[in-house]
Amino acid sequence: MDPNVHLPQVPLRKRTETLEDFNKIPAHVFPASAGRTEDGELVIAGNRVTHLADQYGTATFVMDEADFRARCRRLAEAFGGGERVHYASKAFLSRTVCRWVDEEGLALDVASHGELAVALAAGFPPERITVHGNNKNHEFITAAVQAGVELVVIDSLIEIDRVAEIARQEGRVQDVLVRVKPGVHADTHEFIATSHEDQKFGFSLASGSAENACLSCLSTDGLRLRGLHCHVGSQVFEADGFALAADRLLGLWARLVSGEKTVDADVTALDVLDLGGGYGIAYTPDQEALDVEEVAGDLLSRVATKAASYGVNAPVVNVEPGRAVVGPSAVTVYRVGTVKDVHTADDTVRRYISVDGGMSDNIRPALYQAEYDCRLANRLATGDLVSTRVVGSHCESGDILINDALMPDDIAPGDLLVIPATGAYCYMMASRYNMMTRPPVIVVADGESRVMIRRETVEDVLALENF
């Protein structure tokens, strides 16, 4: 039996293709505060993007604080409280963002020693931190246990012993979840689907190894099993995948808490079902974000009903959205450097617009064929629409930000192009390929702006090197 359930792809609506559409600021793709002034300039949280570009240079990330906080609140409300929503910090992490997440009452997920270190440096309460990773080393686990994190998510049998030993050495009992692959294949890019069988994360439900891992945790001194975890994938639009994963995990849950296989074990601490993140957002105007209220309502009632049908108490449901919190809160501002018409093989013409960033600040198009859109920030466009590719400045032909879009032909060197929905997995996956140093992240709020992360300089790079 193929334990992976393949979900259908949701068809996307056709992309907008008129000049009027190009000049519009689509509210579901941009931060909520974005709009145009009467003279046609793009404004975010009361800041003209032209002023931001003058002050901070380009390329630069601009993050709308109120938008970020509003998304935290919306998710907390949908899932019945901030402590149920664990912001997946891999999407975007800084001490400032930790402070926002803390102030909004959310919990935090970290997936590396570095992420944990940043969270702790920000003073984020460890009792609201969950620790992930398929290869947590001794130092990372020790730091987590010593800090007193709430949960460590167990990803392999080796880790059961490793975490238990460290907890015992530290004189603690560490609360853990067991990561389970429920065999639901999310219909997203293969690299970001994480719940089918043949990938590195978690224990298989179908083969019984997840159950064995739970039993092993229950019988290991130094560990206290609090529940199960799964994450079906990222940028998922098909809500059924989450529900199906929850159903499958509840089968194992019921077997554990009903004492069928756990006669001598104390199962009273089991109270958490963590269903991961992955809620899809709109990157282009034709897409629509997953409705988190709908997903939350469906999941919570499903878990309650299913648990009742097994005759067991329903667990609390934790979730771990990253992209749905920070993705739409930030944009990237680039300045156009060159414009060139290129004859393609079938002798049509494609316009290439080069901007002062590229795959070093947004690897997602190259890595996942991710689609983005852009808008002119310094004025309204007036030209005819032509087939255009927006490319970066790297010494690589795959350095493409927008592969194929109809864009006005009056866009010229000096214009400012803004790509929306770059808050998640862009800065965090940035490199300094070609020694193009990382852009700054600027916070905008109430007509003010400030630097969250400054622009990296060549001096920063040289300082790392012994010469």
Q: Of 98, 230, 374, 395, which residue is the catalytic one?
A: 395
**CB-based contact 39:310 (threshold 8 Å):** no
125 annotated as belonging to a binding site for a ligand: no
C-alpha–C-alpha distance, residues 300 and 298, integer Å: 6
Instruction: Decide: is 324 part of the binding site for ligand LLP (CB under 6 A).
Output: yes
- Asked about 426 being catalytic, the answer comes back as no
CB of 218 to ligand LLP, least distance (A): 22
C-alpha–C-alpha distance, residues 102 and 122, integer Å: 10
Report the residue from 84, 128, 185, 231 that binds ligand LLP according to the rule CB under 6 A: 231
CB of 23 to ligand LLP, least distance (A): 28
C-alpha–C-alpha distance, residues 143 and 334, integer Å: 39
Please list every residue from 381 through 420 that binds ligand LLP, using CB under 6 A.
Answer: none
Instruction: Decide: is 375 part of the binding site for ligand LLP (CB under 6 A).
Output: no
Cα atoms in the 13 Å half-sphere on the side-chain side of 47? 25
Which one of 71-79, 137-145, 161-169, 229-237 is the stretch in contact with ligand LLP (CB under 6 A)? Answer: 229-237
Instruction: Decide: is 192 part of the binding site for ligand LLP (CB under 6 A).
Output: yes
Which one of 93-101, 230-238, 240-248, 332-340 is the stretch in contact with ligand LLP (CB under 6 A)? Answer: 230-238
Torsion sign, CA atoms 383, 385, 389, 390: positive
364 annotated as belonging to a binding site for a ligand: yes
Report the residue from 82, 126, 133, 278 that binds ligand LLP according to the rule CB under 6 A: 278
What token pair was written down for 306? 């299913």
CB of 269 to ligand LLP, least distance (A): 21
CA angle at 296 for the pair 293 and 301, rounded to the nearest 5°: 125
448 annotated as belonging to a binding site for a ligand: no
C-alpha–C-alpha distance, residues 390 and 319, integer Å: 35
Cα atoms in the 13 Å half-sphere on the side-chain side of 14? 5
Which one of 10-18, 139-147, 277-285, 352-360 is the stretch in contact with ligand LLP (CB under 6 A)? Answer: 277-285
Which one of 40-48, 86-94, 247-255, 392-400 is the stretch in contact with ligand LLP (CB under 6 A)? Answer: 86-94
C-alpha–C-alpha distance, residues 210 and 27, integer Å: 43
322 annotated as belonging to a binding site for a ligand: yes
Q: DSSP alpha helices (H): ranges in 122-190?
A: 138-147, 157-169
C-alpha–C-alpha distance, residues 242 and 230, integer Å: 9
Instruction: Decide: is 425 part of the binding site for ligand LLP (CB under 6 A).
Output: yes
Per the listing, tokens 């080069």 go with 354
Binding residues for ligand LLP, rule CB under 6 A, total 23
CB of 277 to ligand LLP, least distance (A): 3
Report the residue from 88, 152, 441, 453 that binds ligand LLP according to the rule CB under 6 A: 88
Please list every residue from 16 through 55 that binds ligand LLP, using CB under 6 A.
Answer: none
User: Considering only CA atoms, which of 151, 142, 156 is closest in space to residue 113?
Assistant: 142
User: Considering only CA atoms, which of 282, 281, 327 is closest in space to residue 90?
Assistant: 327
Taking residue 263's Cβ as centre, other Cβ atoms within 10 Å add up to 6
The set of catalytic residues is: 395
Q: Return residues touching ligand LLP (CB under 6 A).
A: 88, 90-91, 109, 132, 192, 194, 231, 234-235, 276-279, 320-324, 364, 368, 424-425
**Binding-site residue positions for pyridoxal 5'-phosphate:** 278, 320-323, 425
